[in-house]
Amino acid sequence: MDMASDALRLYEQRSCCGIMSDAFSFPVVIKSAGKFGVLFHALVEKLGLLRDPYVRNVMMDMYAKYESVESARKVFDKITQRMGSDWNVMISGYWKLGNKEEACKLFYMMPDSEIDVVSWTVMITGFGKVKDLENARKCFDLMPEKSVVSWNAMLSGYAQNGFVEETLRLFNDMMRLGVRPNETSWVTVISACSSRADLSLAHSLVKLIDEQRVSLNCFVKTALLDMHAKCRDILTARRIFNELGTERNPVTWNAMISGYVRTGDLSSARELFDTMPERNVVSWNSMIAGFTHNGQPALAIKFFKEMIDSGDAKPDAVTMISVLSACGHMDDLELGDWVVNYIGKNQIKLSVSGYKSLIFMYARCGNLREAKRVFNEMKARDVVSYNTLISAFGANGDGFETLSLFSKMKGEGIEPDHVTY
């Protein structure tokens, strides 16, 4: 409630000083109050300030972000003379919830005269968020006028959904048409290249950056560091890391640590981890995963216990993937049960990969009954989860159960791979 108290205090101070509460002050106060901005709604309405587009847009955005999109819609429905910004804020609110149907319905209701670059960009971003790249591209191609933000929205949609080739192709179109990329454009494209881990592609991109004389801010440099680290060019990554100096942030440190972990240089990763000024869950996860995947499961468990004791960060679903896998590699069922109890006690929701690690742990520790129970509870199974359980029953000489799983796998339409056979 502190933010709300501060916001109310600010409002009272302005009133006491004779400063009129107007369309300029209320948006600042509402934003400062965060989720408690709702406390100002009645006052804003009483003063008639909802007639001001800026005030009502901030109010609608606050409702969509902190309370409910339905509350934002009530404000929207009361507006007699809507402007483009009103429609854009409301459509954006629906997209934030992933409500594609309502967002599209509202966009199609929007008067043509009010549709602007922002409206189209909101739709592109929304479609990208729900992985509907086909409709995102249709909106992008239909835009009568595009801004660099529009290009970035389409680039991000492709990049975040793993369409690297499309990202690079669109970026080349952007350059060819003379649209000057900004820092966001470069970070998006560099990140897309990172996922390819292609050093020759990385070198081509760096050459282009030099030719374009791009101003390299902290975000672009961090993206370049991450790209070189993923391409296993650890020396270049470290050079960029050193050059950043005081501009380093937790993302920069984590990218460098992950780079060392990827190359198996756990000593350098540990050295950086021990000296970084601020650790978060990503930092701990990188080290725990590094020890697990490099044949040091006992150290992974030791780090996990240190993470719990340190209070730096709370373990999440990603942490548990590595920890469960480490327990499996150690064939330690007692330790595995302790970890499972920790997951339940702390209400950590396992991802699909987490369930696979849990099956692996039980299978490696010989508790096939629990392994099969977890497998049956999975909402979505794939070839990896089937292979884990099939190999466990096969190793224990249960040919009947192995063949039964193989038959069930094919029955679910999951194609066996060479590991299965």
Q: Is residue 7 part of a domain?
A: yes
Predicted pLDDT of residue 85: 87
Q: Is residue 127 part of a domain?
A: no
Element (H, E) at 259: helix 250-262
Contact between 115 and 144 under an 8 Å Cβ cutoff? The reply is: no
Token reading at 376: 């049956």
Predicted pLDDT of residue 20: 43
**Torsion (CA) 243, 244, 246, 250 in degrees, nearest 10:** -140
Q: Is residue 30 part of a domain?
A: yes
CA separation for the pair 323, 298 (Å, rounded): 10
Token reading at 140: 């992008």
Q: How many domains does the chain have?
A: 1
Element (H, E) at 71: helix 69-78
Q: Is residue 75 part of a domain?
A: yes
| Low-confidence residues in the chain, pLDDT < 50 | 1, 4, 7-8, 10-12, 14-20
Q: Is residue 226 part of a domain?
A: no
Ramachandran bin of 162, using left for φ above 0, alpha for ψ from -120 to 50, beta for the remaining angles? left
Residue 232 corresponds to which amino acid? Answer: R
Q: What is the pLDDT of residues 144-169, one digit of tens each?
A: 999 999 999 999 999 999 899 999 99
Predicted pLDDT of residue 47: 56
Predicted pLDDT of residue 227: 95
Predicted pLDDT of residue 335: 94
Q: Is residue 17 part of a domain?
A: yes
Contact between 82 and 112 under an 8 Å Cβ cutoff? The reply is: no
Contact between 252 and 244 under an 8 Å Cβ cutoff? The reply is: yes
Predicted pLDDT of residue 2: 54
Contact between 229 and 253 under an 8 Å Cβ cutoff? The reply is: no
Residue 26's domain comprises: 1-81
Q: Is residue 55 part of a domain?
A: yes
CA separation for the pair 49, 416 (Å, rounded): 64
Q: Is residue 19 part of a domain?
A: yes
CA separation for the pair 146, 170 (Å, rounded): 13
Predicted pLDDT of residue 414: 83
Predicted pLDDT of residue 54: 64
pTM as predicted: 0.77
Predicted pLDDT of residue 6: 53
CA separation for the pair 6, 14 (Å, rounded): 12
